[in-house]
Chains A and B, each alone.
Chain A
């Protein structure tokens, strides 16, 4: 189990323990916590509806071209932007803090 913090769009932090042996990603974790993350494409880095900002110093998996391209369709992209569906829950993510990015209409 690893510790994860997700800060929602109202600024409220949701701390949770998450399993690393269930092949989950951050988008799925956020949805499981009933946080307002769409994850429209189901986790293929094809829709940009799970955009988040990584606010901790964890070593993250490198961004694929697909993810980089898809972030072009997201709004208010910053240097610490990621698609949460591309962050697979693994030991390196222990202590991860992410903030959900704002969404358009």
Chain B
């Protein structure tokens, strides 16, 4: 179990900068994110795209901004729990919140700041009507344990790096691998593409290009996929597993059930301090909504700054907070 002053859910730019502003008030932060790295959308969706509206930076690459924010908050020694999603929340007797993650980690915090952006990134699920019936019964969206596929027949769908990499890896594990992709070329790393072509030519894997999986059949478990070829029509193929690898998309997820007022996938806040309807829970950045809301990084920075002032008063109702400029006082970080 970890303990902290503020648990920030979401390690995107807004969550990261909130650590800095909290640190100035001597509040310690723990960041939780479902992605395996900090940076949120900036690192996950557009790391190499320039951003032009960060004050003082005429242009900055998204990943560069994340790196700079990490450097800026380093003195405040934030702790990270990455690759885990916030699942359940419970208020304890001492009024602090206990958040449990998808992997069972427990973080106890006086204040929760939801800086979840678009939500937590989860695998994209193909819109095949009965796909949910086969989840964990032959359909997996993430490969957790490659041994599951030993000596099994596997159909992988997708054209990006993860589809290619797993096809290559499982070629030696599974009894039969079929890679289904909607067009003839692949967008993955060049050597992965070449390797897949080699495996195909040597007969180690099957390749179905210009094709998509459009149906699933089976009783207790999956035992057939329907593959639709662009010109040759549909074929039914026997298989033990179907692994669609179509990247990640953000979902609000379990936070939607935390009793917060939600409007169109965004959390309603009071613009005085970005507090939600639940005392001690705040929402900042793209995940919140209020009249006039703009989803800008720069606005998220402001929201985080205002929020920690309120969080301080919530945690220490009797303490006085005197406002200081960093130019005057400098930045004194935390020990280890």
Contacts and interface: CB of A to CB of B under 8 A. Distances in A.
Interface stretch (B72-80, B181-189, B219-227, B303-311): B181-189
Contacts of B127: 75-76, 102-105
Contacts of B46: 41, 44, 46
A33 to B, nearest CB: 15
A77 B183 CA distance: 9
The main secondary structure of chain A at its interface with chain B is loop
Interface of B: 41, 45-46, 49, 118, 124-127, 132, 158-160, 181-183, 187, 212, 214, 230, 246-247, 249-250
Contact of B181 (A47, A48, A72, A75): A72
15 contacts: A40-B249, A41-B41, A44-B49, A65-B187, A68-B187, A72-B160, A72-B183, A72-B246, A73-B124, A73-B247, A75-B127, A77-B212, A79-B230, A105-B127, A105-B132
Nearest to B117: A40
B160 A73 contact: yes
A55 interface: no
B263 to A, nearest CB: 13
A69 interface: yes
Contacts of A5: none
B118 A40 contact: yes
B44 to A, nearest CB: 10
A49 interface: yes
A47 B214 contact: no
A76 B125 CA distance: 12
Contacts of A79: 230
Interface in A20-47: 38, 40-41, 44, 46-47
Contacts of B250: 40
Contacts of A68: 183, 187
Given A69-B187, A72-B181, A104 B45 contact: no
